[in-house]
Amino acid sequence: MDGWKKNLYTTWGAETLVITGFLLVMPFLPYYIQELGIKDLKQVAFWAGILGTATGFMLIISTPLWGILADRFGRKIILVRAMLAACIILFLMGIARNIQQLLILRLMQGLLTGTITSAIALVSSISPRRHAGYSLGIIQTSTFIGASVGPLLGGIAADFWGYRNSFFLSSALAGIALLIVIFRVKEKFIRPGAIPGKEPSRRKRIISMGDHFPLILLMLFLTQFSIFLIAPIFPIFVQKIISPSSHLASTAGIILALSGLTSALSAIITGKLRDKIGAYKKIIIPAMLLSGVFYILQSFSKDVVQLLWFRIGYGLMVGGIIPLINTIIYSITSRETIGKNFGIAGSISALGMAIGPLTGGIIASVFTIKTPFLLGGIGLLATGVITFFILGHIEEKTQIGESRQAI
């Protein structure tokens, strides 16, 4: 097996474990909030939005910095640092005594972790450009598989072992991921300035993607904002439509698990399609539009079975969107500034992930639990239309949609 593939699959395995750890606690986070003393469901939705936003806002600040340091000192060491921070912070969440302590830890999580952006930068720096779609699709599946296995394990762990013990399990998974990266991932890092003639100009270091970068960032922000609108209130929505049950957390976990698996499958398929046919518009536009439709349909679910089918359809459509956007970024940036550029993109992504949950939580507390589903679906539909014109503008100048890079 080629060296870049070994690193890809090893990084994927470690990232899947740490994402599983992060998302293991998400299905019951609103229930954990209730255990910490917040009882009114509207207040629970509000605090869930605040907690979701806290991490995202800190990622906005920290992700570009870690990306710049990755270009200077190596991508592996930055990923190791992020996973060590995840291990410690998740453990501390399990011993939080009030909502204020949990909020502080969520802020620290955003400031010190950011593992997915670090993993993307590492994989991008070692993968051949002609396999960019496949590599970034594979690494993105770590998020979706983590979103599948994490909620499933988290729901079961919360129902049978308690919420606090689930955080300790999350910490252990992050610790295992940390060891895998330390001992199994290989990186031959050479600083760009150490190679004669390879030091990029000051302009290239600051803006390496030209006029296209703001347009791509707009696509990324709108997508993440729409997707994460329902993040804090989805478990509450399940709570509203499910019949009284002692397995509430595990039910929410199973629904998220199955939709996450379909998203992982979608990420791999769309990555391969991109490498084969090259044209982004033929793949990403239908995915955005159809994901918006399934997003809206979730709000009309009368029972858990309906919600499950709509989530599966949504997962199949939405799974390939972020990997394709990352592939566009990779295709028009220099290898020497991969960490910085993905750091900036990660910051904008985090902005959407921060504002989305906050907006969703506030909207749900003011209107109804269904309203964020409707707005999120409309957001993805609008993003699909906007992306059609954005990609048309970019492809006219760069022909990224049809070209097949051979190196």
% of the chain surpassing 90 pLDDT: 32
The pLDDT assigned to 203 comes to: 43
In this predicted structure, what is the pLDDT of residue 202? 41
User: What is the value of pTM for the model shown?
Assistant: 0.77
Average predicted confidence (pLDDT) for the chain: 83
Q: pLDDT band for position 282 (50/70/90)?
A: confident
pLDDT at residue 405, as a whole number: 42
Find, among 241, 239, 240, 236, the residue nearest to 303 by Cα: 241
Nearest CA-CA partner of 144 in 20, 294, 317: 20
Q: Let me know if residue 194 belongs to a domain.
A: no
pLDDT at 1 over 70: no
The whole-number average pLDDT for the span 278-291 is 84
Q: Does 309 have pLDDT greater than 70?
A: yes
Q: Give yes or no for residue 402 having a pLDDT over 50.
A: no
CB atoms within 10 A of CB 5: 15
pLDDT in tens, 195-246: 555 544 444 443 444 567 788 899 999 999 999 898 878 888 888 887 665 5
What distance lies between CA 240 and its chain's CA centroid?
A: 26
CA-nearest of 170, 181, 172 to 12 is 181
CA distances from 244 to 70, 145, 152 (A): 49, 29, 19
pLDDT on residue 317:
92
Exposure of 1 by Cβ count < 10 A (0-12 exposed, 13-18 middle, 19+ buried)? exposed
- In this structure, is residue 43 part of a structural domain? yes
How far apart are alpha carbons 80 and 84 in whole angstroms? 6
Mean pLDDT over 399-403 rounds to 48
Q: Which residue has the higher pLDDT, 74 or 160?
A: 74
Select the more confidently predicted residue: 297 or 24. 297
Position 276 in a domain: yes
Domain span at residue 19 reads 3-186+210-398
Could you tell me if residue 407 is inside a domain? no
pLDDT digits over 244-274, tens only? 655 676 777 778 778 888 888 888 888 777 7
Question: Does 320 reside within a domain?
Answer: yes
pLDDT, position 183: 94
Question: Per-residue DSSP letters for 214-266?
Answer: HHHHHHHHHHHHHHGGGTTTHHHHHHHHSPS-S-HHHHHHHHHHHHHHHHHHH
Max Cα-Cα span within the chain? 68
Return the pLDDT at 179: 96
Instruction: Spell 304-334 as b/e; 16+ CB within 10 A means b.
Output: beebbebbbbbbbbbbbbbbbbbbbbbbbbe
394: pLDDT strictly greater than 60: yes
Question: Does residue 145 carry a pLDDT above 90?
Answer: no
Residue 348 has pLDDT above 60, yes or no: yes
Q: How many domains does the chain have?
A: 1
On whether residue 45 sits in a domain, the answer given is yes
Take residue 78 and report the two structure tokens written for it: 């930055």
pLDDT average, residue stretch 296-315: 91
**Residue 205 falls inside a structural domain:** no
Distances in whole angstroms, Cα of residue 27 to Cα of each of 22, 57, 159, 187, 188: 11, 21, 11, 35, 39
Q: State the pLDDT at residue 365.
A: 84
Note the pLDDT of residue 251: 77
Is residue 235 one of the residues assigned to a domain?
yes
Considering 153-162, 200-209, 210-219, 319-328, the range whose residues carry the highest mean pLDDT is 319-328
Q: Is the pLDDT of residue 111 over 90?
A: yes
**CA-CA distances (angstroms) from residue 322 to 317, 349, 363?**
11, 10, 25
**Domain of residue 278, CATH code:** 1.20.1250.20
